[in-house]
Structure 1
Amino acid sequence: MENSKNLHDIAQSAYEASQIARQTLIQKENFKKFSSFLERLSFSLKESSKFDAVRDSETLNRAIENLKAEIETAKQLGTECAEGNRIYLLLNCKKIAGELDKTSKNISQALIPFTSGSFELESNNILANLCKNMSDTQYQVSAIEQEILQKIETGIEDRRIDRSYASNLLVHIAESLGISCESSELKMEFERFKKEIENIESSTEALRMEQIIRLLSNADMVTTPKEKEIKYLTKRISLGRHLLEPLPSFYCPIKLDIMEDPVETPAGHTFERAAIEKWLMSAEGNSLCPMTKMPLSRSSLRPNRVLRQSIEEWRNRNIMISIASMKPEIQSNDELEVLRCLNKLRDLCETSQMHREWIVMEDYIPIVAGLLSAKTSEFRVRSLAVLYYLAKDSDDNKERIVKENDSIVYIVRSLARKVEESLSALQLLLELSRITHIKTLIGGTQGCILLLVTLANSDDPQASKYAQEVLKNLAFVDTNIIQMARAKFFKPLLHRLCEGPVSIQITMADTLAEVELTDHNKLCLFRDGALHPLLQMLRNSDIDVKAAAVKALQNLSGVAQNGLRLIKEGAKESLFELLFCHSLSSSSSKLREQVARTVMHLAMSTTSSEASEEQISLVETEEDIFKLFSLISYSGPDMQETLLLTFLALCKSPTGSQIRNDLRQISAVKVLVQLCELDDLSVRAAAVKLLYRLTQDGDHTTFLDHVNKKCTENIVKIIETSKNEEEAAAAMGVISHLPRNLQISEHLLDSGGLEVIFDCLNYKNTHTPHVKELVENAAEALSRFTVSTNPMWQKRVAEAGMIPVLVKLLSTGPPLAKSHAAVSLKQFSESSGSLSSPVKMGGVLGCCFGSPPANVCQIHGGVCSTESSFCLLEAGAVGPLVAVLGESDDLRVCEASLDAILTLIDGVQLQSGCKVLDEGGALVQMIKILNCSCTNELQEKMLGALQRIFRLVEYKTKYGKSAQMSLVDITQRGSSGAKSLAAKILVQLNVLNEQSTFF
């Protein structure tokens, strides 16, 4: 029973040891294996202790005591490795691995008595296997631990005192142990390590640890700048002020120069390694020592570390003295001396980190930083280089540089100078920008980010690379990202917009809303990823997030391609939801206006050719149109203008015809007429333009209920007073398209509409688009008052001197104005025959034998004038009409001109009219037109005229042959009506007989 209890206690102790082993700070893999063995041992012993028949013998009792002692040893080893200083434990990793191996084998040995039949067969077998496993297992240090130990030995052996080696080594140690590389934590752990080794009893181990401490103490993380400075100044002061001459032993007998890597021969002579190896290689098999002339091989050369260390100490001593002695010289007024010192400092900085540290401790940073403002370019370039090397070494140096002499400002100024200086400034900024608060200082310096963006986009690959890296560093500060966006560098902003938290997304979206963007910028932003995060924000439930997205989209949607992408991505649903949302508070009216402007941009995008090709539309139902238009009546002026411009764009879209029809159906005309009476000029202008669009097609009877005398007076007043040429043109367009009934025409006359039309037709400059449209609409509007059914209106127009103006328009006006002018002249001409004054013949026989007066009209046979009979011949209109007939590419103009010309051969005027047309060249032009592509209506009208003209033999003979080929072609390719007319003319010309199949 006693042995069973002892076995149970040992099992519990083994389990505790296994748990301690799992908590060790180093050798984790080794201790994991060891812990596993102990757990298996604990389990086996615990199971065996349950049997009462455990033999009680002296051998077994001794074995129990031995095993108990070994388990306690394992516990102690685990405890030491779990609680000891991690650096010290790492340095003793080989020893710990040996202890583990020894303990494992001792436990295995102590288990042997338990495997010889003390327990049941099954327990015996388990313990036997465990015993063998523990005996066979080997514990080794890891590759990383081995590498660290090797670097430590190399550093001690080579007497490495430079900070970079020690710093890198200490960082390597910290990373392998899971210690933070923050200076404060690493220094604390290092101090614990130094304290732990104070109690080491072994003098050999104490000496080794002292060497390791001396090596690692050079690391930046464990020594404060102040400690370094005190140590440096103490040493430098002890050296004196004079340089030491090199000892003769420092010189290589071959090169006769001070050695860098001395090696020693078996005979005790020392040479520079490169020199003696070159000597031996050139000996061509006769490898003799240059001093003793005895055979010498390269393999027999050994490094002379003591001499090398002495040379380094001598060189460093002199460098330390020379650095201190240069301070008065670099601050002198001698430019050559200053430049020499800067070059020397730069060379020293390039050579060694230790030299850079000495330069800092001699307080050169304020001096060199002060030279950044020098007028001499070479001073600035060398100063930037020196500061760059110093900044690379430590964050403390970076901090000291930015505090001196507005250094950031002067570094930034250097960015804009010559290539060499600009590159040097970039390199320095790249180092400085690694510190968080300095990022803010750099970004806040006037012009800095703009210059960096310019350099990032430059053709110089090196400058571009450095500038982009600096911008990348600065992009960790959100205010800098905003500055970059204003400089048109959007990559960091897009990154934050896509991946930042909601608050940052709002900030970035606000920036996109505020930045002035070109169309190219807007396209690039959508292409590079701005669209989807903004759409996600737009669909967010938080109104502030939605508002930020709307503002950004308003700015970005101003280019057609972006607007169409938004429609295709379903943005309109979210925008309309906000626009029609009744729960928005009055304080959200600004948001509603921004949504409306965004929708307006989407509407404008639907007028592009791409929208037409892809059949993209913004509103698809009459209900949507009604809801959107109804907002106009309940909105303020800004919103009203935006919504009106939205509908103006929609009316120009591929579905514009349907939208215009829907607007007329929902009585939009009534609302627009009311808006045209407002004092707000912007809203009025938009309303007039939309009203103009609605009058361009459709059933104009829908206007009759709303266009009263007040409305016409207002529209006329707009044309008279508006300084907006586009608005005036649109208002004139409304007049030109209004239903041509007597009541509306009378309203226009009473409102002074005719006088306004006269004024617009007399515009001198018709080259600007809106003035051109104004004149075209005025010419069309005038045609309502030149109809032959109302001679009084015609007379009023003629007496106002408008017929010469119309004739002039045929020569100088835009195409549509020419067409409308021809229409008016045609209408005037239709009245000329009845208005021409009969000729009074003198005497009884005058009627038979007298000659007609000289002023008798050739066409109308009476006395004509422009103002009384509106005669085209008297007005000089025949030539311009013929010119328009022959020159115009617009068939509408051509047809209007032909209609006016053909009034001269109506009725009994055929003979005289044809003579006038022939003299004016009209017949030649008419035949030419037959050869051109024209509408069936125009062609048939032309053929009908020629049929009448060719009744006269004179003109049939003169022009029949030239018309013949065209007529034959028409009989083959023309419309049925044109074929018949052409065939009849060919009969007149005796080309076909009357029984032809064309009839």
Structure 2
Amino acid sequence: MVEELLSTLACENSALLQTDNEAIPSFDAFECPLTKQVMKDPVVLESEHTYERNAIEEWFRTCREQDREPTCPSSGRVLSTTELHSNLVLRKTIEEWYQRNVAFRVQSVVDRLTAVELMQDVDGALDEILRLFNENPMNKWKIKSANLIPKIAKIWSLEGAAYFRSKALEVLDRMAVDDADNQHIIVKEGFLRFSVRSLGSKEDEEKANAARLLYHLSTSSLEVCEVLGTGKGAVIHLAGLLASKDHDLSQLAEKTLRNLEQVESNVLEMAEAGRIQPLLARLCEGPQETRIRMASYLAKRHLVKSQVKLVAQSATRSLIAMLPGTLEAKEASLGVFLMLSSLADNKSLLIEAGILPPLLDIMFSIHSSVNNRALKLKEWAAEVVSKLVSSRGSWENASIDAEGTTLYSEFVVHNLLGLMAHARPDWKHTLLQILTGMASSPDAGEEACEHIRSGHGVRICAVFLSETSVDSHRLHALRLLAVIAPRLGPDIVREFHGTEMAARLQALLRSTNTEERAAAAFVLGAIPMTEKEVSQHLEPELLEWTLTTLASLKDSKRGRSHTRLLSETIEGLLGILLHFLRFNALSPPATLRQHDVMTLLVNELDRQGEFVIKHRAAMGIKCLSNMAASLCRKPELPPTTCFCFRSRPGKLSCSIHPGVCDPADSVCMVEARAIVPVLELLEEEDQGVQLAAMEALSTLLADSSNLRGAVEELCRVEGLQKILELFYGLQKGELQDRTAWVVERIVRVDDLAKSLSVDTKLFKALVEAFKFGSATTKALAQDALTNLKQLSGVSAGVRRKK
């Protein structure tokens, strides 16, 4: 049997040697009787029959499992041994046959790809290559030697190439695996462009094959990675695949990008595509030169909010560590901080990481004699600080040195004011912004304002108001004055003396710049002024101009929203108006009647959420109401024809004032129908507005001789209960004092006091006020309780009558 096999093999070997240009079909001796497939590891049994090793081993295993003696599958002979002997001669012959056929098949592929007569030929050639890869990994080297990659490149752009594009990518991918030479050839032949384009294909298989090819290319040298990363759209497409629902595809993209991260230019490309983590890793862990380059790049990019937040969370401390470094390091770091500090969510993080000390060191330590580049760093540092203090945050509690000095300390504020003297014009407004931010803080504002005052900050602001000043400086100086005016009003008024500051502020009320107009009005309206100061510093025609301007803005409240500038303007104008209304001598009745000031102020009471406007309007109504008694006229009696029969007066007296209040031009709250709008202010959340409303209502009860008429008017408009409801829940304070005064005046009316004496809530509120109120409120509560017959003693009303 063995001799016959050897003889057959000799003949087949001879046939192999004689055939050069055609495929040789498989010989029967090459096929395993069990599998009917060409054998790879032929073995001989005791029966001298040959089988594939794996197949015969499985046969013997089946015999054992079935409790049968091992037999030869072909002859049925029972074997005494299952020992297997490798048939080396047959194995070698089969290998030679296979290699000969592989060579022929490869050449056939080359021929078909070269001719490219039919698309079916191309498709069949690619299928054949894939079969060769699948049959034996060693076939890869024969395929490589055939130089197929350039031939695949030539057919890529043929009409109908889309049909086999996915298959071609799969072939290239198989050729690229663990083969640096093939990888370089693939790159050289331009397949990067084709592969990247296929990443955007609608065909999932094509997309996956392209991703696999790019991944295997990325495992090559750094040079290949660099070329791959700079390929148009490569990084963008790969970054897009990270969000793919196909997990395998997403992982391929992730692994490819990680390989590309080895090249710095690729890291920058990834940052362009929105993948900034690799850049941040280099920024945090790289050498100083690399960190500077990464920071410089970041500073020039426009990042979305989530990326800005990620940079702050990941790299803040590394960036802060760069601030004491070289000019290049400072520039790069400050450039990034300009971006990071623009996001409110980052401010606390930056401050807690310790950014303030190095920023102030840059601002205060570099002198004006240093070159422009260094001075630019001061400006950038100041701009970062201005952004950090632009809103309330942890900066108020942060220390700038080991001694616990705060950012709004005298040292810092005075240094900032000192820089104004020699700072370049293009960053003085930044220093003003910093001071404005500090002074605006609810926690730090009072102390900051005090340091601004002691550092002559008001005088410095006055200088910026001149006509020759830079517009941005003037505007920011006005904003600072607007913030400090409520606290430093007297200092601002003192600065009026001997300067043109008051005149400049009034001139700016007519500026073409709406922000300047609003800020100037806000400043003038916020500062306290005596009658003498109003006469001395405010132009006489300012009253009429203010009323005219307010009237022109009366319809602005009907919009859906109010702008900040409009609110500031109206607040300021009402404040200016109050300067005149507080003093009768400065408020000509003719002017008040001409502009119907009471109606104008009543109209301002219904601005939603504008507490300052409501407060000032209510205070203006109070001032007008105080004038009403002196401006009303006595009733005129019509002429009589008979001494015995006299006609009734043509016009009845006002229920509040001792005379006639003309509805057409009245400053009387009754005739102007102002009582109800003012009463509605008692329901506001802001106590300042409530207090202003009570001040205005108090004017109705000022005349002790006509309390009944005033109380009846309040009852007529259902205001009495609103006043009492407010009083029930008040604690010690100015509002309780004023409301207690009103309640005490109300209960002086005997019949009303009798009906209120059974009001347990009023009794309880008066007792609480008597126990825990201020000295003024205690006395008023005692008098009220006495009038209600709830406390023994003589009522205040009786004492006053006596």
**Structure 1 residues 290 and 805, CA gap change in structure 2 (3 angstroms):** same
Residues 299-321 of structure 1: per-residue CA shift (max 9 Å, x gap):
41122233223223322322332
Residues 514-545 of structure 1: per-residue CA shift (max 9 Å, x gap):
122344323322332x23332332222x3223
Contact kept? 2:429, 2:472, Cα under 8 Å:
yes
Of the three residues 951, 967, 987, the one matched with 2:748 is: 951
Of the three residues 911, 919, 928, the one matched with 2:725 is: 928
Of the three residues 551, 561, 586, the one matched with 2:372 is: 586
Q: Which residue of 1 aligns with 2:165?
A: 380
Q: How does 1:390-405 map to 2 (within 5 A)?
A: 390-404=175-189
One-letter code aligned to 1:514: K
Q: Which residue of 1 aligns with 2:781?
A: 982
Contact kept? 1:857, 1:864, Cα under 8 Å:
yes
CA distance in 1 between counterparts of 2:543 and 2:145 reads 91
RMSD between superposed Cα atoms in Å: 3.2
Q: Which residue of 1 aligns with 2:214?
A: 429
Asked which structure has the greater CA Rg, the reply is 1
Q: Which residue of 1 aligns with 2:12?
A: none
One-letter code aligned to 1:683: H
Q: Which residue of 2 aligns with 1:739?
A: 528
Q: How does 1:54-453 map to 2 (within 5 A)?
A: 240-283=20-63, 284-296=67-79, 299-327=82-110, 329=112, 332=116, 338-369=122-153, 379-404=164-189, 406-418=190-202, 419-433=204-218, 434-453=220-239
The structure whose residues are more often helix, as a share, is 1
CA distance in 2 between counterparts of 1:297 and 1:802 reads 127
**1:821 is the counterpart of 2:617:** yes
CA distance in 1 between counterparts of 2:448 and 2:281 reads 41
Contact kept? 1:509, 1:549, Cα under 8 Å:
yes
Structure 1 residue 658: Cα displacement: 0.7
Contact kept? 2:729, 2:765, Cα under 8 Å:
no
Structure 1 residue 557: Cα displacement: 3.1
CA distance in 1 between counterparts of 2:233 and 2:243 reads 16
Residues 258-286 of structure 1: per-residue CA shift (max 9 Å, x gap):
22321111332111122222222223332
> Which SS does the other structure have where 1:290 is aligned?
coil
CA distance in 2 between counterparts of 1:532 and 1:938 reads 50
CA distance in 2 between counterparts of 1:548 and 1:993 reads 81
> Which SS does the other structure have where 1:399 is aligned?
helix
**1:832 is the counterpart of 2:628:** yes
Of the three residues 773, 776, 787, the one matched with 2:571 is: 776
Q: Which residues of structure 1 form unaligned runs of 5+? A: 1-235
**Structure 1 residues 362 and 840, CA gap change in structure 2 (3 angstroms):** same
Contact kept? 1:260, 1:272, Cα under 8 Å:
yes
Q: How does 1:899-978 map to 2 (within 5 A)?
A: 899-907=695-703, 908-962=705-759, 964-972=760-768, 974-975=772-773, 977=775, 978=777
**1:472 is the counterpart of 2:258:** yes
One-letter code aligned to 2:634: P
Q: Which residue of 1 aligns with 2:11?
A: none
CA distance in 1 between counterparts of 2:625 and 2:574 reads 17
**1:624 is the counterpart of 2:412:** yes
Q: Which residue of 1 aligns with 2:336?
A: 552
CA distance in 1 between counterparts of 2:117 and 2:623 reads 96
CA distance in 1 between counterparts of 2:674 and 2:436 reads 39
> Which SS does the other structure have where 2:481 is aligned?
helix
Q: Which residue of 1 aligns with 2:689?
A: 893
Higher deviation after alignment, 782-791 or 339-348:
339-348
**Structure 1 residues 638 and 861, CA gap change in structure 2 (3 angstroms):** same
> Which SS does the other structure have where 2:648 is aligned?
coil
Contact kept? 2:733, 2:774, Cα under 8 Å:
no
Contact kept? 1:758, 1:802, Cα under 8 Å:
no
**Structure 1 residues 245 and 869, CA gap change in structure 2 (3 angstroms):** closer
Identity %: 27
**1:575 is the counterpart of 2:370:** no
> Which SS does the other structure have where 1:619 is aligned?
coil
Q: Which residue of 2 aligns with 1:686?
A: 476
Q: Which residue of 2 aligns with 1:651?
A: 439
Structure 1 residue 869: Cα displacement: 4.5
CA distance in 2 between counterparts of 1:992 and 1:667 reads 57
**Structure 1 residues 245 and 474, CA gap change in structure 2 (3 angstroms):** same
Q: Which residue of 1 aligns with 2:554?
A: 762
CA distance in 2 between counterparts of 1:836 and 1:750 reads 25
The number of residue pairs the alignment matches comes to: 754
**Structure 1 residues 958 and 244, CA gap change in structure 2 (3 angstroms):** same
Contact kept? 2:482, 2:522, Cα under 8 Å:
yes
Residues 183-221 of structure 1: per-residue CA shift (max 9 Å, x gap):
xxxxxxxxxxxxxxxxxxxxxxxxxxxxxxxxxxxxxxx
Higher deviation after alignment, 899-908 or 926-935:
926-935
Residues 292-343 of structure 1: per-residue CA shift (max 9 Å, x gap):
4333367411222332232233223223322332356557475555444433
Of the three residues 495, 507, 516, the one matched with 1:705 is: 495
TM-score w.r.t. the length of structure 1 is 0.70
Structure 1 residue 955: Cα displacement: 2.5
> Which SS does the other structure have where 1:263 is aligned?
strand
Contact kept? 1:826, 1:903, Cα under 8 Å:
yes
Contact kept? 2:312, 2:350, Cα under 8 Å:
no
CA distance in 1 between counterparts of 2:170 and 2:332 reads 45
**Structure 1 residues 618 and 643, CA gap change in structure 2 (3 angstroms):** farther
Structure 1 residue 563: Cα displacement: 4.0
Contact kept? 1:971, 1:980, Cα under 8 Å:
no
CA distance in 2 between counterparts of 1:302 and 1:500 reads 62
> Which SS does the other structure have where 1:961 is aligned?
coil
**1:639 is the counterpart of 2:427:** yes
CA distance in 1 between counterparts of 2:81 and 2:311 reads 66
Structure 1 residue 560: Cα displacement: 4.7
CA distance in 1 between counterparts of 2:474 and 2:643 reads 67
> Which SS does the other structure have where 1:842 is aligned?
coil
Structure 1 residue 923: Cα displacement: 0.7
**Structure 1 residues 713 and 368, CA gap change in structure 2 (3 angstroms):** farther
CA distance in 2 between counterparts of 1:526 and 1:448 reads 28
One-letter code aligned to 1:916: E
Contact kept? 2:409, 2:451, Cα under 8 Å:
no
CA distance in 1 between counterparts of 2:135 and 2:296 reads 49
**Structure 1 residues 519 and 756, CA gap change in structure 2 (3 angstroms):** farther
> Which SS does the other structure have where 1:604 is aligned?
coil
TM-score w.r.t. the length of structure 2 is 0.86
**Which structure exhibits the higher relative contact order, with contacts defined as CA atoms closer than 8 Å and separated by 6 or more residues?**
2
> Which SS does the other structure have where 2:785 is aligned?
helix
Higher deviation after alignment, 662-671 or 898-907:
898-907
CA distance in 2 between counterparts of 1:689 and 1:265 reads 104
Residues 340-367 of structure 1: per-residue CA shift (max 9 Å, x gap):
4433333433444433333333333134
Higher deviation after alignment, 493-502 or 248-257:
493-502
CA distance in 1 between counterparts of 2:69 and 2:718 reads 116
CA distance in 2 between counterparts of 1:238 and 1:451 reads 54
CA distance in 2 between counterparts of 1:722 and 1:408 reads 60
Contact kept? 1:670, 1:706, Cα under 8 Å:
no
Q: Which residue of 1 aligns with 2:309?
A: 523
Q: Which residues of structure 2 form unaligned runs of 5+? A: 1-15, 796-802
